[in-house]
Amino acid sequence: MNQVIDNSIMMEKAQRLVRGIATLPTIPEISLRVSTLLESPSVDLQKVADLILSDQVLTARVVKIVNSPLFRPLHEITSLRHAVVYLGSRRINEIVLSCSLIKALESNDDEFDIRKFWRHSFGVGIVAGKMAKLLSYPHGEKIYIFGILHNIGKVFLWSHLRHEWTKIIRLVREKQCSFLDAEMRIMGTTHCEIGLCLARQWNFPEEYCDVIAYHHFPANSPRNQLPVALINLADIFYTVAEGEEGVECWTSSKLTEEPSWAILLHAMPALADFDPERFAFELEDEMLEIRKVVDDLFAP
Ligand SMILES: [Fe+2]
């Protein structure tokens, strides 16, 4: 895709598409109430747990996520209160938000495998989190959630802009072009700008907005280039690792050519020792676990 395309025109088109939706998905009430409770410095975590417990689906998902490779506790966590204490107020807030959005954007449709979508998002979260650890990135805990939410515009396209979604998918299949190219040809904008409109509507913090808006072109991000570049690299890495070619196709040279590599290398010289093939090999088991976590999350 031509990166020189005027971003303001793309944003305008995205805003028009999003504004055209009569009832935009909202952040579910429970997530907002959890956030409000957690804002208090003297927060009572039991109250937070009780609130989450009032929603069975949400409770089950939070407990599944806390036991997943994303957080990997030493012992299985079976109670929600334990999960809340283990994760701490900030993480529990982000997980409740992620689970609430998964729920808000759910739809029964056989045409699109929503599990595949979330598997990818969780997978990118795991890859980015592991990379962050390897590189001693200072705010690693947030990186998981960036991974989970980076493609929120795409799931919105599927759930609320079905006409455009269907045309994009058809074009990708017929012309064998990338999803981004197809989005540009059909809508003149992409899931990144659409996701940004939603993130702003939902008052997401600035870092979230930048990751959602620039995860395909991190060099264009005016701020927060490190987390954006980390998600970009993890996205590319996971896309190849989950693809048909498998992990063998990884060669260091491919990754080092990415603009995100240069951005990260500049700030974190440890990246120079990063071995993508070895990393991919170490990830294989976790990828299988992620598949199971996501399938469990969506189990009836
Ligand atoms: Fe994307």
Average pLDDT, the chain: 84
CA-CA distance, 18 to 135, in Å (whole number)?
37
- Encoded tokens for 231: 């998600």
DSSP class of 110: S
- Encoded tokens for 2: 């031509």
pLDDT at 144: 82
- Encoded tokens for 138: 């200072």
48-67: average pLDDT: 87
Residues 59 and 74 in one domain: yes
- How many whole angstroms from 180 Cα to the centroid of ligand 1? 8
Residues 56 and 73 in one domain: yes
- How many whole angstroms from 149 Cα to the centroid of ligand 1? 10
Of 74, 104, 134, the one marking the end of a domain is: 104
pLDDT at 244: 43
**Range of lowest pLDDT (100-109, 138-147, 149-158, 218-227):** 100-109
Residues 188 and 71 in one domain: no
- Encoded tokens for 155: 């799931």
212: left (phi over 0), alpha (psi -120 to 50) or beta: alpha
**Under 8 Å between Cβ of 128 and 146:** yes
Residues 175 and 238 in one domain: yes
- How many whole angstroms from 52 Cα to the centroid of ligand 1? 30
pLDDT at 247: 42
Is 197 a domain residue? yes
Helix axes 56-66, 45-53, angle to 10 degrees: 120
Residues 245 and 211 in one domain: yes
Q: How many domains does the chain have?
A: 2
- How many whole angstroms from 50 Cα to the centroid of ligand 1? 35
- How many whole angstroms from 151 Cα to the centroid of ligand 1? 5
pLDDT at 142 over 70: yes
CA-CA distance, 237 to 247, in Å (whole number)?
9
- Is this model's pTM higher than 0.75 or not? yes
Of 68, 86, 104, the one marking the end of a domain is: 104
Of 79, 104, 129, the one marking the end of a domain is: 104
pLDDT at 66: 86
pLDDT at 109: 63
Residues 244 and 283 in one domain: yes
Highest mean pLDDT among 20-24, 69-73, 100-104: 20-24
- How many whole angstroms from 101 Cα to the centroid of ligand 1? 17
**Range of lowest pLDDT (21-35, 77-91, 182-196):** 21-35
- How many whole angstroms from 85 Cα to the centroid of ligand 1? 33
* pLDDT digits 0-9 by tens, 214-265: 999 999 999 999 999 999 999 988 887 776 444 444 555 577 888 999 999 9
Domain enclosing residue 30, as ranges = 26-104
